[in-house]
Each structure stands twice: as structure tokens, then as C-alpha cells.
Amino acid sequence: DAFQLYYQPQFNMLTGEITGVEALIRWIDNGRVVLPGEFIPISEESSLINDLGEWVVNKACHEYQGLIENGFPPVKMALNISANQFHKSSELLSCIETALTESNLPGSLLQLELTESVLIDDVDETISIINKLKEKEITFAIDDFGTGYSSLSYLKVFPVDLIKIDQSFIHDVEHDASNRTIIGAITVMAHELGLKVLAEGVETQQQLEHLKSHKCDYVQGHFYAAAMPADDLLAKYREETSP
Ligand code: C2E
Ligand code: CA
Ligand code: CA
């Protein structure tokens, strides 16, 4: 019971409307919040990541359904799926199926975030798993785009819906002309292929302005809100939408 999920909202770049939330795991160790960067890589070296991943899917679906019942808007919830977890496909499929059924959350509200490393492993198998999950109306995002193997060919091959441009391109966008070029190019290419683009790690108004000029669709970052517990997310939503 030492794990907890935090949620970070995502917004429409133009309207500022909330369009999604990403679930991010935390380990609360005697009151200290331990970030996933400290334990996810270790758990990925063993089968622990599969147990942890299953816990996340279950907990997130139940908690999120509770949020919606309490008036949170039914926007998509994104879950991070690690490569090990993704390639244990029968376990993953049954875990997601059970969690959706038990929580009564529709698959259309779930988005799975995969990194480029998941996609390069076994192309045919990966496409087949994605398609099975798409039958449940689950959508897919490529996380940390631009930092991995970045084979542009997989944008054509994999049936994903969203590209999340990695924060490293966003953080010094004001000062780094080549980052601006890269962001512009990713966005144009994604749009031509019919994909949406989200910029993550947006911290300042200036960064936001650059991203607007490049026509990114969605934003996520501390400029709007950091990840927070479910109760705080609901309270913040109510506060911001109350007349
Ligand atoms: P990620 O999926 O790329 O998640 C985004 C990270 O950036 C999160 O860190 C988030 O808190 C942080 N972030 C968001 N906005 C900003 C910003 O404006 N500025 C800065 N500096 N940071 C921002 P977090 O929660 O520490 O998670 C780190 C990584 O751990 C995640 O990166 C993801 O790869 C992994 N992770 C988190 N939860 C899970 C999970 O449930 N399962 C798996 N497999 N991995 C997870
Ligand atoms: Ca992510
Ligand atoms: Ca990311």
C-alpha cells in the first residue's frame, strides 16, 4: 500500500480546455515521495515491473472511474506501459480487460503511452497487440518522442494516435533554434500523417507561445499543473470551473 498514483492534466493548446490526464506512479516511503525515476528502472530489470504495471492499470481504472462519478470530466486517462509489460501481451490484455470490466470504465477513456523502444522490438507482434487493444477503443501515444531510435518509418506503420514530444526539446525552446526546427518538423509531419501532437514539460509562458506558433495540439507541464493525488485533481478542477 505504499504506492500511490498522481495525475497530471493535459490541455488543448488553443482553448485551454482539459483534454486528458496522465497517471504517474509514486512510492510514499515514510511520508517521503519517491519518484518513479528511482524505482521503475530497477523494477524493469526484474519481473517486478509486471506486478507494478498490473497494479497501476487496476488502481488507475478504479480511481479514475471514482473521479468521474464525482464530477471530473470524462477525458482520456493515459497510462505508461513499459516494454516488458507490453511484450507479455496475454497478461497485459487480460489485466486491462479485467480492470475495465471491474471498474466500469470504457476503453475509449484509456490511452496507453509506449516508448520508441517498445515499438522496435517485434513489429508484427506489436502491431497485432495494438490492434487487439484498439478493438476496445483504447488509443495509443508514443512517449518521449525524439529521444529513442526515432525511426520515422514507425509513424507510418504503427496505428498510434498521438506523439508526445520529449521535454528535452521543450525546455530550452526559447534559446535553441534547432529545437524549434525539430518541434516544427515533428508537428508538420505528424499532422500530415493524421496524428495529434502533445508537448510535455511546458514550464513557461514563452515556451507555450513557441509551441502555439508551431501548432502543437496539446500541452502538459508545470506551467499548468504538476502531477497530484486524485483528490487534489478533483478539488482543483472544481475550483477552476466553479462560477
Ligand atoms: P514520462 O512518462 O515522460 O512522464 C513525464 C514526467 O515529467 C513525469 O515525471 C512528470 O511529473 C514530469 N513533468 C511533467 N511536467 C513537467 C514540467 O513542466 N517540468 C518538469 N521538469 N517535469 C515535468 P515522473 O512522474 O517523475 O515520472 C518519470 C518517468 O517514470 C515517466 O516519464 C515514466 O517514464 C515513468 N513512469 C511514471 N509512472 C509510471 C508507471 O505507472 N509505469 C511505468 N512503466 N512508468 C512510469
Ligand atoms: Ca508518459
Ligand atoms: Ca514523456
Helix (H) or strand (E) segment spanning residue 218: strand 218-220
Using a 6 Å cutoff on CB, does residue 80 contact ligand 1? yes
Using a 6 Å cutoff on CB, does residue 221 contact ligand 1? yes
pLDDT band at 39 (very low <50, low <70, confident <90, very high): very high
Rounded CA gap, 217 and 127, in Å?
Answer: 25
Cell numbers 530489470 correspond to what residue? 45
Rounded CA gap, 183 and 213, in Å?
Answer: 10
If you average pLDDT over every residue of the chain, what do you get?
A: 94
pLDDT digits (tens, 9 = 90+) for 160-173: 999 999 999 999 89
Best residue among 4, 10, 22, 24 to mutate for probing ligand 1, ranked by most atoms within 8 Å of CB = 24
Contact between residue 196 and residue 160 where contact means Cβ atoms under 8 Å apart: no
Helices 123-134 and 89-103: crossing angle in degrees, nearest 10, is 10
Using a 6 Å cutoff on CB, does residue 161 contact ligand 1? no
What burial letters (b/e) apply to 198-231, b meaning 16+ CB within 10 Å? bbbbbeeeebbebbeebebbbbbbebbbebbebe
At 150 the pLDDT is: 63
Q: To the nearest whole percent, how much of the chain has pLDDT over 90?
A: 86
Cell of 139: 488509443
Rounded CA gap, 231 and 236, in Å?
Answer: 9
pLDDT band at 207 (very low <50, low <70, confident <90, very high): very high
Contact between residue 7 and residue 21 where contact means Cβ atoms under 8 Å apart: yes
Distance (Å) from CA 24 to ligand 3 centroid:
11
Which atom from ligand 1 is nearest to the alpha carbon of 81? Answer: 44
